Amino acid sequence: MGYLPGEIALPEGLNGAEFIEMMKKMKHADDERINYLLEMFELDPKQNTKKMSIGDKRKLAIISAFMSDSKILILDEPTSGLDPIMQNKFIELIKEEKKRGKTIFLSTHIFGEVDATCDRLSIIKEGKIVTTIETDTLKNNENKIFKVEFLNDQDFNEVIESKMNIVYSDKIKRKIRIAVNDKDINSLINLISKYEIKYFSESKFTLEDYFLSYYRPREEA
């Protein structure tokens, strides 16, 4: 098993190379794998661990977690402290490991990481899992929200009185949001095309929206 803790605590009195050598013996890792990871994350292992930046400590911990080519990986906030370039390299590494059949448990608050790497998402609230869903289910959701802004009050009022599923409206700004299933989008377009429209766009439902729906106050949700 490969493990990457959220808080990195490295032993004093060692440089990066010595720490890697110690972990190599414990994990029975091979040099080829270690050198591949060192090159990927551009880490100079000669630095003293005490003087390393937060980012370099995180790189060292990532290399330690992945060096033994474990079948199971448990990663807690793995890119905390990494710059955007290294975050992207970490995502590339995760994708490579997935293709090689690894099982990866990833705890993160960075929605881009979840979107780019995860097949299944669980949300934890107050120490309990409140939902689990396949990420493809969210990405391919058949239920859509469309935002519409009208040029005049009459058109706005007529659509408000229609049978469309309106989930939000602002009379002063003449704006509405309409919920519609994929199979009914043509009906929506046919209806909207009869009016003078200033703005029409799909409101993308994101992983962040899904996450926040479990954390907003009940009345706001």
Kindly state the percentage of the chain with pLDDT values over 90: 54
Distance (Å, whole) CA 38 – CA 32 = 10
Find, among 184, 188, 206, the residue nearest to 147 by Cα. Answer: 188
Among the residues of 130-171, which ranges form H helices? Answer: 135-139, 153-160
Per-residue pLDDT at 75 exceeds 90: yes
CATH 3.40.50.920 fits 142-204, yes or no: no
Domain residues of the chain, as ranges?
Answer: 2-118, 142-204
Find, among 154, 195, 156, the residue nearest to 175 by Cα. Answer: 156
Taking only the tens place, the pLDDT of each residue in 35-72 is 999 999 999 999 899 889 999 999 999 999 999 989 99
Residue type, 123: I
What is the pTM assigned to this prediction? 0.72
| Mean pLDDT of the 2-6 span | 93
Per-residue pLDDT band at 185 (split at 50, 70, 90): confident
SS3 sequence, 7-58? CCCCCCCCEHHHHHHHHHHHHCCCHHHHHHHHHHCCCCCCCEHHHCCHHHHH
Higher pLDDT, 212 or 116: 116
Per-residue pLDDT at 33 exceeds 70: yes
Per-residue pLDDT at 117 exceeds 60: yes
| Token pair for 151 | 């040029």
Distance (Å, whole) CA 177 – CA 195 = 15
Name the CA radius of gyration of the chain, rounded.
Answer: 25
Q: Which long-range contacts (CB under 8 A, 24 or more apart) does 119-126 make?
A: 121/207, 121/210, 123/210, 123/211, 123/214, 125/214, 125/215
Per-residue pLDDT band at 139 (split at 50, 70, 90): confident
Per-residue pLDDT band at 217 (split at 50, 70, 90): low
Which pLDDT does position 55 carry in this prediction?
A: 94
- Topology classification of domain 2-118: Rossmann fold (3.40.50)
Residue type, 116: A
Per-residue pLDDT at 221 exceeds 50: no
Per-residue pLDDT band at 168 (split at 50, 70, 90): confident
